[in-house]
Amino acid sequence: MLRLGLVASTPIGEAYARALSQLPAAELAAVAAVSSRCGPAVRAGASTRPADLVALPSLEAVVLASGLAEPYPLIRRALIHGKHVLAAGPFALTIDQVRRLAALAERRGRLLMFAEERTLSPSFALLADMIRGATRPCLHYIRLLDVRPRQAEAAPDAAAVAAEDLALCARLVERRPRSVSAVAGGPAGGSLEAAFVTLVYPGGLVASLQVSVSESWEARQLVASMAGRTLMLDELDYRTPLRVVSASEWTRRDAAGAERCGRAAWRTNSLALPAEPVDPTLEQCRRFVEAVAGGRAGAADGELWSQVARLWEAAERSMALAGAPVPLETRPRLQELKGQTPHLHVIRGRARRGHSISPRPALTLVSA
């Protein structure tokens, strides 16, 4: 039985409290409510402050479903106290923060997992399998719309929502973009209320992200345009979350080209539906608990979120340049070479007359 603590706020904290209570291999032993608006499922167990909860010696793991604007200090504190951590967003971390947390978790022998509930639905799994099974010329572009309504409390900022959407793109397109361009929306000098990000991949594939946290409605839609068909995922449409609109008749065999599809979908003309609904939050908690119990360090996803942080930092640089594309590094930075000795080329230069006080020619060292 894995004893867990939960740092919760509404509404994500309520979902995780319900999910953890359904797992027979886990015991929700302590809860810290960040928000006063948390429902009874959270308030009933609220007993301590978040900083104190992650330090409790009786807990083996903690789930951070708090929607904190700055989750880094709390995640770091939990790892220092020897806790396995499931961090649920949305939130935005810098690439240095992700690397420090991943390195700390590795040194302490603990699992650090970033929650990705949106990728665990059958509809997303089917869409991802169809995209990965397509050849590069067949996939034309990906368009993602993410609108979160205004809320007085516990509303994520645009950077956090954009980071979550960049993680979706990283799961769908397992390649590094060639360049990132972005423009910001919102009042001059005010907080970021909207972001419009474009990723350009080698081969011409384009992913366009439109994110807003200042509107009064909600939308989470993903469109993938492919040769002969269009895939449309609407996460808020519970009756028909995934549509496959084809220019010609397509078969179940086409959609089930990956092993994860199996019996998860059925066909009626050009419409694909998940056969059995799945609670993504419950599935995320189950994977975390099973990974901790099985000692599977490979379940850590720090590398993916380092890539996400790199993409968002490039987007912020592009915003500062009025939307100019920012190329991504094709070679690792010097601090990433991990002790490798860089190659040096020696270029012998001829000293100019009258300015040399040494008989030896000048040397210029250029790093490769």
Residue 263 has pLDDT above 70, yes or no: no
* Nearest of 33, 4, 35, 36 to residue 19 by alpha carbon: 4
Pair (164, 246) in one structural domain? yes
Residue 336 has pLDDT above 50, yes or no: no
264 vs 241: CA distance, rounded Å: 13
Query: Backbone dihedral region of 265: left (phi > 0), alpha (psi from -120 to 50 degrees) or beta?
Result: beta
| Phi and psi, residue 184, nearest 5° | -105, 155
**Domain end among 240, 274, 308:** 274
pLDDT at 97: 94
Q: Is residue 241 in a domain?
A: yes
CA angle 239, 245, 250 (to 5 degrees): 110
Give, in order, the Cα–Cα distances in Å from 39 to each of 87, 92, 364.
20, 26, 67
Structure tokens at 63: 């789930």
Residue 54 DSSP class: T
89 vs 6: CA distance, rounded Å: 14
**Domain end among 259, 274, 289:** 274
308 vs 129: CA distance, rounded Å: 21
For 145-189, how does the pLDDT look when each residue is reduced to its tens digit (9 = 90+)? 999 887 655 567 899 999 999 999 999 998 899 999 999 988 777
More confident: 226 or 183: 183
Mean pLDDT computed over 71-100: 92
pLDDT at 253: 46
Mean pLDDT computed over 291-318: 88
26 vs 290: CA distance, rounded Å: 10
Q: Is residue 127 in a domain?
A: yes
Pair (54, 113) in one structural domain? yes
Mean pLDDT computed over 197-212: 94
pLDDT band at 276 (very low <50, low <70, confident <90, very high): low
Highest mean pLDDT among 207-216, 272-281, 295-304, 348-357: 207-216
Query: Where residue 289 sits, what CATH number does that domain have?
Result: 3.40.50.720
Contact 158, 213 (CB under 8 A): yes
Which are the contacts of 221, defined by CB distance < 8 A and separation ≥ 6?
Answer: 144, 145, 232, 233, 234, 235
pLDDT at 182: 97
Q: Is residue 330 in a domain?
A: no
Residue 264 has pLDDT above 90, yes or no: no
- What's the N-to-C CA distance of the chain in angstroms? 54
Q: Is residue 318 in a domain?
A: no
pLDDT at 33: 79
For 341-358, how does the pLDDT look when each residue is reduced to its tens digit (9 = 90+)? 555 555 555 555 544 444
Q: Is residue 176 in a domain?
A: yes
Pair (84, 144) in one structural domain? no
Sign of CA dihedral 159, 99, 124, 240: negative
107 vs 305: CA distance, rounded Å: 19
Q: Regarding beta strands 84-87 and 112-114, do their DSSP bridges make them parallel or antiparallel, or are they unpaired?
A: parallel
Pair (149, 267) in one structural domain? yes
Pair (136, 263) in one structural domain? yes
Residue 117 has pLDDT above 70, yes or no: yes
Pair (240, 131) in one structural domain? yes
Pair (362, 252) in one structural domain? no
pLDDT at 195: 95
Q: Regarding beta strands 242-246 and 229-234, do their DSSP bridges make them parallel or antiparallel, or are they unpaired?
A: antiparallel
Minimum mean pLDDT among 28-32, 134-138, 201-205, 302-306: which range?
134-138
pLDDT at 356: 47
Pair (103, 64) in one structural domain? yes
Query: Where residue 163 sits, what CATH number does that domain have?
Result: 3.30.360.10
Which are the contacts of 186, defined by CB distance < 8 A and separation ≥ 6?
Answer: 158, 192, 193, 194, 214
Residue 332 DSSP class: -
Pair (49, 89) in one structural domain? yes
For 33-74, how does the pLDDT look when each residue is reduced to its tens digit (9 = 90+)? 776 555 555 554 555 788 899 999 999 999 998 777 788 999
pLDDT at 331: 53
Pair (51, 166) in one structural domain? no
Domain with 84 in it: 2-117+280-300
For 96-116, how does the pLDDT look when each residue is reduced to its tens digit (9 = 90+)? 999 999 999 999 999 999 999
Q: Is residue 256 in a domain?
A: yes
Pair (73, 176) in one structural domain? no
Number of domains comprising the chain: 3
pLDDT band at 194 (very low <50, low <70, confident <90, very high): very high
pLDDT at 11: 76
Query: Across all residues in the chain, what is the average pLDDT?
Result: 80
Q: Is residue 82 in a domain?
A: yes
Structure tokens at 314: 């490039």
H/E element, 16: helix 12-21
Residue 245 has pLDDT above 60, yes or no: yes
Give, in order, the Cα–Cα distances in Å from 302 to each of 61, 128, 255, 277, 337.
17, 21, 31, 29, 18
Pair (212, 284) in one structural domain? no
Q: Is residue 173 in a domain?
A: yes
